Amino acid sequence: MASSISAVIVMWVVAMAAAAAASSQTWIEGEALRRSTWWRSYNTTTGHCNWPGISCNAGGSVTEIWAVPTQENGLLTQFNFSSFPNLVRLNFSSLGLNGDIPHQIGTLTKLTHLDLSHNFLSGELPLSLTNLTKLVELNLGYNHISGQIPSEIGNLRNLVGLVLDCNYLNGVIPSSLGQLTRLTSLYIGWNQMEGSIPPEIWSLKSLVDIYFDHNILTGVIPSSVGNLTNLTSLHLASNQITGSIPSEIGSLKKLVDLALDNNKLVGVIPKELGNCHSLRYLSMKFNRLNGSIPSEIGGLVALRKLDLSVNNISGTIPLQFQNFNSLEYLDLSYNYLEGYVPFELHLPSLFRAFEHNKGLCGDTKFGIPPCRKRNRITIIIIVVICLCSALLISSIIFGVLLIWRRKTRKLQPEEATTTQNGDIFSIWDYDGKIAYEDIIEATEDFDIKYCIGTGGYGSVYRAKLTNGKEVALKKLHTLESQNPTYMKSFTNEVRVLSKIRHRNIVKLYGFCLHKRCMFLVYEYMERGSLHCVLSDEIEALEFDWIKRVNVVKSIANALSYMHNDCIPPLLHRDISSGNILLDSEFRAVVSDFGTARLLDPDSSNQTLLAGTYGYVAPELAYTMVVTEKCDVYSFGVLTLEIMMGKHPRELVTILSTSSSQNIMLVDILDPRLAPHIDPEVIDNVVLIIRLALKCINLNPTSRPTMQHVCKEFETCTPFPIPFHAISLGQSKDQEV
């Protein structure tokens, strides 16, 4: 009996001790929560298990924490991790936390889910993280974490999801990741990882998502990629991966997204890709792929985006492409394709989807010429005629020019205005439909009421021709025609614009070179200059963020075309808001090529100073040597002007003389527009500001090329800092 009583007493004492310990532990946890500052407004009477963001077990010990953002969020070190031995889930995402991840986090040995993403955490990954062997999900993405990924990460054998993207991690991808056999999601994109992808990665058969894009990874894609039969997303874009695309990639029959763009891949597109019937996103642009497009690609009926641009692909577009019913985006530009375009699609992207190829033809709505059906005999006849004509062309042209010179010497101005069809040597047009008489009639001999402004030289008139087409006329006045400077600009503009065609460069329809009446005929842009739009309060409001982003991209595309696709390169030398024209839909074109010049590779390219004050690259003042980087500087100033709504002269001065860390990006944007920007547009706005700051670098060699600028627009991704927290200093320092 006595022994039974003793046993009961012992059990009671143990229970009381356990209860006291549990009570003590819950008190410790409550105090730790209050001292973290996130729950300081709560008192002990309510019980911390009832506080927002807190969950407890039956014993009152904290098992889950997800903090609610407050203005007091700051250092992660203010949280005492060791006070929560039973913690299973911890979510401190998007709290604006900064500082290092404390080593004490390794004491949370029961933790299965840890999310510290979308903060400002810095420093290196603490080795103690690898003690959390029960972790199933680890998300540290979108921070400022640097250093290497520790090889001990292979200890986390229960990991299903590992997210480390959008940081500053460097070094190689540890081969120990191959030990994480349960891993389904692996995100290490947007870091500075280098070296080749460890072969152990291609043995993780549970993987569903791989995001290694935007690093410095090298090596090849091995045939063992075919082992990952559960893979739905494979993103290796923007690295330095070489070699060919293995045919084994066709084994990934669950694949939905495949991004291999912006690498150094060579060889042909494997026809086995046609086995990936779930594929919706396929991008291989900016590589060195060759050969033809396999017809099997046309069997990917679920495809929504296909981008094979900027490669060396040749041959014809497969007829099977007509099977694309879900396609939303297509780009096959900058290749060597030829033949018929087999499409009956109506996509906005198709306007430029086929440009810069060898010889495509089809529907003119694609921006390509119509196909002409010719039989073999007709083709032979045409070839014979061309060969015979070539022998006579040089002598005929010479004779015609002599006749023309004699004719124009005798022709009086009155006779020129009454010529029925105009003088073909004086009034010229791409489609041959504009005659001198039409211009005189439409403007009532350049009556002042048709004048809509004055340019760098002469006046600008608006005219509606008999065929219904509206044109703009830049007329050189009689006195100005006697000025050698104006004459040189006039003839230079004719020379340049008659040789180039681009959607974002003003179209020259015709010109008159008569000594007593000289004018240029352009496409009419309803809204006039960008400078006028930004100066008008009503139009500036209509000129919203989406339209401004598109205008910047259009200008960049035009300059990239001039610098890279024209041989020799063409420099504008006067990029300013006054020389950008907008139509009724805010489509932008670059105009005024009076000071443009070809870049001579065999010359010093030394020149007289040209351009508009406030846009001229500073090095021109002392070197007088013009390069593409002069246009890049002007583009940077103009881009800031578009986003700020005014010329950035004060900001440019500040950026060149002092720190910009305290200037917030949101504070420099045009205040006339609503401060709220659509989330889908924010990333573009941030990227545009970042690129503009790079473009106005005082050192020309540090400025990007316009081709690089356009390339960055194609791969726009979220900035790893919340929009309202970005300073110009952070924008300027972030690599682009």
Q: What is the DSSP letter of 339?
A: E
What is the reported pLDDT for 25? 67
Three-class secondary structure of residue 90 per DSSP: strand
583 is catalytic: no
Q: Which two tokens stand for residue 250?
A: 């066709």
Categorize the per-residue pLDDT at 706 as very low, low, confident or very high, splitting at 50, 70 and 90.
Answer: very high
Cα separation, 192 vs 214, whole angstroms: 8
Q: 371-415, pLDDT tens digit by residue?
A: 765 444 544 554 455 454 444 444 434 333 333 343 333 323 323
Categorize the per-residue pLDDT at 445 as very low, low, confident or very high, splitting at 50, 70 and 90.
Answer: confident
Lowest mean pLDDT among 132-136, 474-478, 693-697: 474-478
Token pair 């020149």 is found at 607
- 629 annotated as a binding-site residue: no
pLDDT surpassing 80 at residue 522: yes
User: What DSSP line would sit under 592-653, residue for residue?
Assistant: --TT-EE--TTS--B----S-TTTS-TTHHHH-B--HHHHHHHHHHHHHHHHHSS--HHHHH
The residue ranking higher by pLDDT, 107 or 451, is 107
Cα separation, 93 vs 161, whole angstroms: 16
pLDDT surpassing 70 at residue 337: yes
169 close to 146: Cβ distance less than 8 angstroms = yes
In what helix (H) or strand (E) does residue 168 lie, and over which residues does it extend? strand 168-172
Q: 35-46, pLDDT tens digit by residue?
A: 776 777 666 556
* Mean pLDDT of the 59-72 span: 76
Q: 432-444, pLDDT tens digit by residue?
A: 446 677 788 888 8
pLDDT surpassing 50 at residue 93: yes
Q: Which two tokens stand for residue 489?
A: 């600009």
**What is the value of pTM for the model shown?**
0.54
In what helix (H) or strand (E) does residue 377 lie, and over which residues does it extend? helix 376-410
Cα separation, 198 vs 157, whole angstroms: 18
Q: 235-286, pLDDT tens digit by residue?
A: 999 899 999 999 999 999 999 999 999 899 999 999 999 999 999 999 999 8
Distances (CA, A) of 380 to 112, 361, 369, 377, 393: 76, 20, 21, 5, 20
Q: Give me the percent of the chain exceeding a pLDDT of 90.
A: 38
Q: Which residue(s) pair with 89 in the sheet?
A: 64, 113
251 close to 274: Cβ distance less than 8 angstroms = no
Three-class secondary structure of residue 171 per DSSP: strand
Cα separation, 527 vs 584, whole angstroms: 6
Q: Which CATH architecture has domain 433-523?
A: 2-Layer Sandwich (3.30)
Domain boundaries along the sequence of the chain: 28-366, 433-523, 529-725
pLDDT surpassing 70 at residue 200: yes
For helices 545-560 and 706-714, give the axis angle rounded to 10 degrees.
140
Listed in sequence order, the residues at least 6 apart from 41 whose beta carbon sits closer than 8 Å to its beta carbon are none
CATH class of the domain defined by 28-366: alpha beta
Q: What is the CATH number of domain 529-725?
A: 1.10.510.10
Active-site pick, 257, 574, 592, 631: 574
C-alpha count within 13 angstroms, C-beta hemisphere, residue 463: 30
Lowest mean pLDDT among 224-238, 336-350, 384-398, 473-487: 384-398
What is the reported pLDDT for 623? 66
Strand segments, DSSP code E, in 415-559 are 451-454, 459-464, 470-476, 508-514, 517-523, 528-529
Nearest to 160 by CA among 114, 104, 128, 117: 114
* Mean pLDDT for all residues in the chain: 80
Q: 582-619, pLDDT tens digit by residue?
A: 998 999 999 888 777 776 554 444 445 567 778 888 88
Categorize the per-residue pLDDT at 347 as very low, low, confident or very high, splitting at 50, 70 and 90.
Answer: low
Identity of the highest mean pLDDT range in 68-82, 146-160, 562-576: 146-160
What is the reported pLDDT for 10? 54
Is it true that 28-366 and 529-725 share their CATH fold?
A: no
What is the reported pLDDT for 603? 47
What is the reported pLDDT for 402? 35
Q: Give me the percent of the chain exceeding a pLDDT of 70.
A: 76
Categorize the per-residue pLDDT at 166 as very low, low, confident or very high, splitting at 50, 70 and 90.
Answer: confident
620 close to 555: Cβ distance less than 8 angstroms = no
What is the reported pLDDT for 373? 55
Nearest to 435 by CA among 375, 510, 372, 360: 510
Nearest to 237 by CA among 213, 256, 255: 213
Categorize the per-residue pLDDT at 159 as very low, low, confident or very high, splitting at 50, 70 and 90.
Answer: very high
What is the reported pLDDT for 673? 84
What is the reported pLDDT for 6? 61
63 close to 48: Cβ distance less than 8 angstroms = no
What is the reported pLDDT for 489? 75
